Chains A and B, each alone.
Chain A
Amino acid sequence: MRRSERRAVLTGLMFVSPWLIGFLIFTLYPVIASGYLSFTDYRVLAPPRWVGMANYHSLVIDHDYFLPSLWDTIFMFLELPLSLIMGLALALLLDQKLRGIAVYRTLFYLPSIVPVVSSAVLWMWVLNPEHGLINSVLHSMHIPGPAWLASPAWAKPAMILMDLWGVGGGMVIYLAALQGVPTSLYEAADLDGANGWKKIRYVTIPSISPVIFFNLIMGVIGTFQYFTQTYIMTNGGPNNSTLFYAIYLYQNAFQYFRMGTACAMAWILFLITLVATFVVFKSSARWVYYEGETR
């Protein structure tokens, strides 16, 4: 390396050092440490004891809750297409020239800035089986509402419903992307005689596919880590129907102090996330279009 190159590397490293040091202490070391701990029996008070694959083995074979917690989490993936469709539909609705459109945008966006704790507490009340908002409205239409969070069958759909209230967060990102679609594409589609739906299908969606892709990736990662709402509203119940992966991991770590088991769960989560992200990335070549790309 020439002297000037070496200097450039040194300057570069100096500038990134705040992040680099943080990366070593708060990311790389913990990833390795939790990998190591996942092969130990570690209950905090006594030093970790090497047990090989025992934690992984007992999670998959013996634990009654591990696999169900994984399936329950996978159920929550239903939310991804729903919030994609709703977010996109709202964004398309708001991408019009109407008077007062800014007011609507603000209204739809507001729920997504409410702190999760507040919205969880609020929705426990909205979903209250007897006096909650939803069942009262259903009742006035003579439809008997379900018990929502108190029902093993309805607790997960209830949480999806609550999350869809915050769909405005995704909506504004789609909206920003919609406004970046060149009008010339729509004009060309008009010339070809495309109708409204065809324009959405063949112009709009391909044009904003990178943003859909980004939201999808973040959604996949977020769903596996679904925690706060559930911790507050049901803490895994009723009847363990919302004992999601992250909740069970937290309980292992901070309620049962089985750090080794919790670390094994964390590493399994890490690997699942890697595979899932990889699959989405791989599939993206088929449906994500980048501007200026030729194919």
Chain B
Amino acid sequence: MTKRTSQILGHSVLILLSIVFFAPFLFMVSTSLKADQQVFSDHIQWIPHPIVWSNYPEALKFFPFLTYLRNTLILCAGNVIGTVLSAALPAYAFSRLKWKGRDVLFYTMIATIMLPSQVTLLPVFLLFRAIGWTGTFLPLIVPAFFGKAFSIFLLRQFFLGIPQELSDAARIDGCSEWGILWRIIMPLAKPAIATIALFSFMGTWTDFQGPLIYLHNEKLYTLAIGLNSFLGRHGGEWNLLMAASTVVTVPLIIIFFVAQKTFVEGIALTGRAN
């Protein structure tokens, strides 16, 4: 096979697969712009005719996007700040300090990543219920300030790669461990911090079970459970549902394109971590 034919073959396979992967997106956006009768036509019509832009304002009437967005962003901000702040210190102790008991605690932490969330879900729920935090954002934010194992793990992997000489030089100059972390390590670890911030943001935006259990007042709904309750009340109105679904998805896609570099670094970090 010549190079040229193999290239053409490669492209044709990839283009075919791209169509398959992209079709659901097109179907979503196309449906979101259709009039009712066209949604239920016998054959797929990809191009909406007429284009019903008003589906969006119509959907947003029942789906208070701005309120849900604000709630989602509050949770995202809380989780990102909490995750980053609480990951740095343990990651430092697990990578750049030598002390007895370090490895035992480190492997304990790794083991918790594999613990099914259901095992802790109910007692934690009952705990938050006992102190009257259910129905508020607190159960969905406060735990992030106590270190997420996976974020600590990723940050530790990155810290391990920073030359030890930098720390030694700072210690000779009389810098404390605290000072080394904040003045030397953290500035160097910006890409890794961006990665865990991004993962935490995406995870919180997408989270379903947490808000489902803790938030019952519609005014506090996030986009995720807001969309689900919209589905409950307007099931069957596919054009409106697809409009709402598009509105929930598009911000994440924008963030993906803006932060693509951070994504790639994050994936590389996860890959190397294995």
Task: List the interface of chain A (C-beta within 8 A of B).
Answer: 1, 5, 8-9, 11-13, 15-23, 25-27, 29-31, 33-34, 37, 44, 90, 93-94, 96, 98, 104, 106-108, 110-111, 113-118, 121-126, 128, 130-131, 133, 136-137, 139-140, 165, 168, 172-173, 176-177, 180, 210-211, 213-214, 217, 221, 224-225, 227-228, 231-232, 246, 249, 253-254, 259, 262-263, 265-267, 269-270, 273, 277
Contacts and interface: CB of A to CB of B under 8 A. Distances in A.
Summarize B's interface: helix, strand, loop or mixed. helix
B17 interface: yes
Contacts of A263: 122-123
Contact of B115 (A27, A125, A139, A173): A27
Q: How large is the interface on B (under 10, 10 to 19, 20 to 34, 35 or more residues)?
A: 35 or more
B117 A117 contact: no
B147 interface: yes
Contacts of A246: 118
B31 A5 contact: no
B105 interface: yes
Contacts of A17: 89
11 contacts: A19-B152, A27-B115, A30-B123, A37-B123, A104-B17, A116-B206, A117-B228, A122-B27, A125-B27, A168-B21, A211-B271
B190 interface: no
A115 B271 contact: no
A221 B216 CA distance: 29
Given A26-B143, A93-B13, A211-B274, A249 B118 contact: yes
A129 B17 CA distance: 23
Summarize A's interface: helix, strand, loop or mixed. helix
A-B CB proximity, top 8 nearest: A22-B146, A19-B147, A15-B93, A12-B99, A30-B120, A176-B271, A30-B123, A33-B123
A165 B114 contact: no
Contacts of B169: none
